[in-house]
Structure 1
Amino acid sequence: MNNAVEVAKGIYWVGVNDKETDLFEAVWPLPRGVAYNSYLVIGEKVVLVDTVKAFFLADLVTKVKRLLGEDRAIDYLIVNHMEPDHSGSIRILKALYPNLKILCNAQTVKMLENFYSVTDGIIQVKDGEEIDVGGHVLKFFLTPMVHWPETMMTYDKVTKTLFSCDAFGGFGCLEGGIFDDEVDMSYYEGEILRYFSNIVGRYSDQVQAAISKLSGVEVKVVAPSHGPIHRSKPEHIIGLYDKWSRHETECGAVVVYGSMYGNTAKLAHATARALAKEGIGHVIVHDIARDHVSFVIRDIWRYRGLVLASCTYNTMPFPPIQDLMTHLENKKMKNRLLGIMGNYTWSPGILKKLKEFAQSAGKWELLSPEIVIQSSPKDEDYDKAVQLGKNMAQKLKECQ
């Protein structure tokens, strides 16, 4: 989009779409790109809320100049977060606007120097501090570890707009519409959860602290740094974050298998079929060798039940399964039901490895039977796989 879009009176979206980057943070796939949302607040003073990735600065500046003209400058830059997809343009922006003042918190100051050698024109703000820019009163809420130590949010008391930075954001370019009532939110909510579960979810306690801090604030617009702007139902996106960060789950199960020659996969599908037959309407099966781990983690975060099925590879779990388990341990998920099944030919021990994961993962309930087979499943192995599905289905129904 070439033009700025009005978000609220005197507030404009001046962000950009990035369809060039294939992997967010060089890790997470972006099948439909990502938006970097930057906002211009125009009052007696002009305030830019966050920048964009350096490669896209020209697009941002073009939008700004169309709003301000060539002669009017940006007075203040608010730095809510220092990750370079939001701060990457700061040094060039200061060169374009030499009198620009940077508003940030104390944690940000050293990062500005370390990333961009910027040490001048910095004004430190504290939690709860306000600045009146004429027509807008901006209040700062420090939200550390959502998901970096310096993260904060900025709130315009006049329009009730919350500039939430990474919180409440998600993957996906803004293709025409930029508001929640202009786009297919079923798609974006999936990408918001994928963003949350893979990037922010580890810091769920800090997310809860941030939501608590905002509990008495009237929010009419949630303007995140990625994804759609929430103006029709701002309480909905905040509610989703509240639910996810409380580790509240839906009644469903994710079956993930790693199988070199299809034998372990057969068992996994038997359990998935048993779950569905027992009335569990949401059952997702992932072949971990082919489905990117970020989509798998997203689904595991959503649903209460997880079945891990792994063949043995060089005496260890199948490498993509091992990678998934490492991610899950790091994410600190809680309140899950877990079923495990392992397969080996000449090196036993796979079940022991899966049980070690179950013990280290956190507050997870390990269900029976714990299944181990040698090479290929026999009739009694299928019976156990079906029983595991039945047992998990019963537990899931108890949680409804």
Structure 2
Amino acid sequence: MYCVKKITEDMYWIGASDRRLELFENVYPIPKGVSYNSYVILDEKTVLLDTVDHSVCSQFLENLEHVLDGRTLDYIIVNHMEPDHCASLAEVVIRYPEVKFVGNAKTFTMMKQFFDFDVDNRAVVIKEGDTISTGKHTLAFAMIPMVHWPEAMVTYDAYDKVLYSADAFGTFGALNGNIFADELNFEAEWLEEARRYLTNIVGKYGAQVQSALKKAAALDIEMICPLHGPVWRENLGWFIDKYQKWSTYTPEDHAVLIVYASIYGNTESAVNVLAGKISDAGEKNIAMYDVSKTDPSYILAEAFRCDRIVFACPTYNAGLFPKMETLLSELKAHNFQNRKVAVIENGTWAISAGKQMKEILSSMKNMEIYDNTLTVKSSLKRDQMEELDGIVEFLMK
């Protein structure tokens, strides 16, 4: 049975949600599922904007057939060729063999790699600033390369003042009937997943996101329709400001993040003492994560949120504890920067974790690293309280 949502007088959401998928891109946990958004404009010409993942293809095809109501499909605009948005293209071609694809040159190079149907005879190749008229709607196109694939683009509808934003402004999470952000308690229930989505999927490409935001700023936008998550029609500036911070590696909150690895509990005990001292110094925003218990995608997102971070890690096989090494490698790979950090190391012999953590952190841009590494030899001792106080003083300056 079809499930569609009317957004404007002649534009519809025809996407679907997947609540069974456990890992997005087979990497990131998505306990709340994910939505795959697709949109249709019914003008003199009919236009489909992107398709969906194979997992929800059947629902999508029912939605498309219902909305078209016997009409043919004239255009498919392909804003992004990643399979979670293009996997159903072949199924659409089977049902609407005369359809034309709208995309840029890189779009069609990729399309030929994924599919065996005749691409060239269906291709309408556009470039930056080109437009297509479908009747009363005029659709304009802008390239947003590496947000987060090189062929990515957005479509702007001047008539409805809608930006079809591809993967930009998306979020993890299935849609549960309400498709508009203003129908949800977004800040309390969705913001964490929006942050985790952007920082993990696109975090490496902050400069490219900035370029995309500048293009968006030049448009009169009243609605943002992303390919994942809710549609934005109110408080656009609030959400755009979040993207501004995340893409410039600017801390979102004045907060302390404590990230630790602990084998037998001694490193955890040390950071618990530190957290208490930070609280006594007046800090009300403290987050703590055990790298062995929490997926790196959550901690990475928290690192983007907080302005100060403590990394605490035991030496393991003369190196870093593996889960901590993975997290630090992820931060570096995502171009993480602009933070104040302190380091705590632990070990019973040949302690080297602090030096190795600092080497990784110092390779990141604009990291203010506390000079004095706290070295815990097996367990924290009372005579090390002043060293903890030094870390607190550094963090609270």
> So what's the TM-score if we normalise by structure 2?
0.96
Query: Which range moved further: 117-126 or 176-185?
Result: 117-126
Unpaired stretches in structure 2, ≥5 consecutive residues: none
Give 1:247-396 correspondences, 5 Å limit: 247-249=249-251, 250-394=253-397
Q: Secondary structure at 1:99's aligned position in 2?
A: coil
For residues 148-193 of structure 1, the C-alpha deviation after alignment (integer angstroms, 9 at most, x for no partner) is: 1010000110000100011000000111211011112022111110
The answer for the alignment partner of 2:143 in structure 1 is: 142
Provide, for residues 279-299 of structure 1, a one-character-per-residue CA deviation record: whole Å limited to 9, x for no partner: 222110001110111111111
Q: Find the residue that maps to 2:190 and give its secondary structure.
A: helix
Secondary structure, aligned partner of 2:259: strand
In structure 2, what is the equivalent of residue 75 of structure 1? 74
The count of aligned residue pairs is 393
Distance 1:75 1:347 in 2: 68
Shift of 1:374: 1.6
Cα deviation, residue 2, structure 1: 4.1
Partner of 2:192: 190
Residue 223 of structure 1, aligned match among 222, 225, 228: 225
Determine the C-alpha separation between the residues in 2 that align with 1:382 and 1:297: 29
Match in the other structure for 1:397: none
Of residues 242-251 and 103-112 in structure 1, the stretch that sits farther from structure 2 once superposed is 242-251
1:43 aligns to what? 43
Q: What's 2:54 paired with?
A: 54
The amino acid of 2:156's aligned partner reads Y
User: Deviation at 1:74?
Assistant: 1.4
Contact 2:50/2:86, CA 8 A, preserved across alignment: yes
**Structure 2 letter corresponding to 1:184:** N
Question: How far apart, in 2, do the equivalents of 1:95 and 1:141 lie?
Answer: 29
Residues in 2 aligned to 1:243 and 1:9: alpha-carbon distance in whole angstroms: 34
* Cα distance between partner residues in 1 of 2:369 and 2:159: 51
Q: 1:292 to 1:382 in 2, by over 3 A?
A: farther
Alpha-carbon offset, residue 117 of structure 1: 2.8
Structure 1: 5+ residue stretches without partners: 395-400
Quote the residue 1:108 is aligned against: 107
Q: CA–CA distance in 2 between the matches of 1:201 and 1:66?
A: 38
Task: Check conservation: 2:270, 2:379, Cα contact below 8 A.
Answer: no
Amino acid at match of 2:362: Q
* Aligned residue identity for 1:38: S
> Would the aligned equivalents of 2:16 and 2:60 in 1 still touch at CA under 8 Å?
yes
RMSD across aligned C-alpha pairs, in angstroms?
1.3
- Check the 8 A contact 1:340/1:354 in 2, yes or no: yes
Separation in 2 of the partners of 1:16 and 1:234? 23
Runs of 4+ in 1 over 6 A off after TM superposition: none
Question: Equivalent residue for 1:84?
Answer: 83
The aligned amino acid for 2:71 is R
Q: Deviations over 1:297-328 (max 9, x none)?
A: 11110111010000111111111100000000
Paired amino acid for 1:180: A
Deviates more, 1:340-349 or 1:23-32: 340-349
Q: Secondary structure at the match of 1:363?
A: strand
Asked if the contact 1:75–1:101 (Cα under 8 Å) also holds between the matched residues in 2, the reply is: yes
In percent, how many aligned pairs have the same letter? 35
